[in-house]
Amino acid sequence: MDNSKQRYKEFGDFLKTRRARILPSQVGLPEGTRRRTPGLRREEVATLSGVGLTWYTWIEQGRPIQVSTQVLESLARTLMLDKQETIHLYTLAGQAPPTSFPNYDESVDPMLQHVLDSLEFSPALIMDVRLNVIAWNNAASKLSLNYGKINIYRRNILRIMFTNEDFKKTFTDWSSAAQGMIARFRSVYSKFIDDPWIEELVSELKRESKEFDLWWSMHNVKTEDTRFKSIIHPVLGKLDFEETSLLVADNTSLRMSIFTPLAGTDTKEKIKQFLISQNI
């Protein structure tokens, strides 16, 4: 067997082993009772990755298929590959590995999580440079959105802003908030202009949201700053916050956003009573 044939076979075998270890529930699919093999089916991987079943089957069979970086990124995301596995995947496919990686870890350093949890009455999130939400506190889950119930691969605040109707309803002025988020994301986008993951996200949102498609085309940019924000809670009504965004000192690819109850309002007392009433 020549080297190229061996590489294609290794590529296919690697995909099969990674597919076998993923539980359907990990990607938002029902477990079912008629599965003959562990893990995901080929058709499920193909669908989740946005590729054709026949084409994906040929890849697993070790046929000489040329795979783009966009498809490799999708496969790495679907199969929950870590950094080393992703590099291995790209190498087997004959593509240069990416220079940066989306952070899909479901946990952060325990010390960082402790900081979040200590902010009892201030919703707080930690996001990576692509705006993937990777950590949050109880106040964020109870007052804004239960991020733990969102599939890890869809837990991106920009995607949530434009596709989650419940999240939209929490804004007193969703249009302004959404346009501001696009403008801030534009500043990030300029640093990752060739990033296949971001290109795929932008393309997806342009298809799914006419507002995103319109506002993205305006090329407005805005840097992070301290902002005031109001949300509408279904029980508590209007809540007013100061939003502060801070880089994480030992990992500047992460940013912590803290929503502190605005002084001079009854926001903190409302939140306090609400959380106590739920025995949180």
CB 144 within 8 A of CB 161: no
DSSP characters for 248-278? ETTEEEEEEEEEEEPTTSSHHHHHHHHHHHT
- What is the model's pLDDT at position 104? 52
Q: pLDDT value at position 155? A: 87
pLDDT for position 1: 47
End-to-end CA distance of the chain: 62
The pLDDT value given to residue 194: 67
Which tokens hold the place of 101?
Answer: 């990686």
For the question of whether the overall pTM of this predicted structure is more than 0.85, the answer is: no
Residue 30 has what pLDDT?
73
Q: Are 215 and 182 in contact (CB under 8 A)?
A: yes
Please report where in the chains the tokens 């801030």 appear, as a residue.
184
CB 241 within 8 Å of CB 230: yes
* 108 alpha-carbon distance from chain centroid: 14
Which strands, in side-by-side order, build the sheet including 251-261?
A: 133-136, 124-128, 251-261, 237-248, 227-233
Q: In which element (H, E) is residue 135 found? A: strand 133-136
* CA distance linking residue 270 with residue 235, whole number of Å: 10
Gap between the Cα atoms of 81 and 172, Å rounded: 39
Tokens for 75?
């496969």
DSSP 119-130: -TTS-EEEEETT
Q: Whole-angstrom Cα distance, residue 200 to residue 48?
A: 13
How crowded is residue 25: how many other Cβ atoms within 10 Å of its Cβ?
9
pLDDT in tens, the chain (280 residues): 457 888 899 999 999 999 998 888 777 677 665 777 778 999 999 988 888 899 999 999 999 988 888 789 889 888 888 878 888 999 999 988 876 665 555 557 888 899 999 999 999 999 988 888 989 999 999 999 988 888 777 889 999 999 999 999 999 999 999 999 999 898 878 777 766 677 778 888 999 999 999 999 999 988 766 688 999 999 999 999 999 989 888 777 788 999 999 999 999 999 999 998 876 5
Please state whether beta strands 237-248 and 133-136 pair in parallel, antiparallel, or not at all (unpaired). unpaired
What are the structural domains, with CATH classification, of the chain? Answer: 3-92 (1.10.260.40), 110-277 (3.30.450.180)
Q: Which residues, including other chains, have CB under 8 Å from residue 177's CB and lie 6 or more apart? A: 161, 171, 229
Lookup: tokens for 73: 């990124």
pLDDT at 165: 92
Q: Count of alpha carbons within 13 Å of 47, Cβ hemisphere only?
A: 9
Cα separation, 69 vs 77, in Å, equals: 12
Q: Among 130, 124, 125, 123, which residue's Cα sits nearest to residue 104?
A: 130
Non-local CB neighbours of 25 within 8 Å, separated by 6+ positions: 31
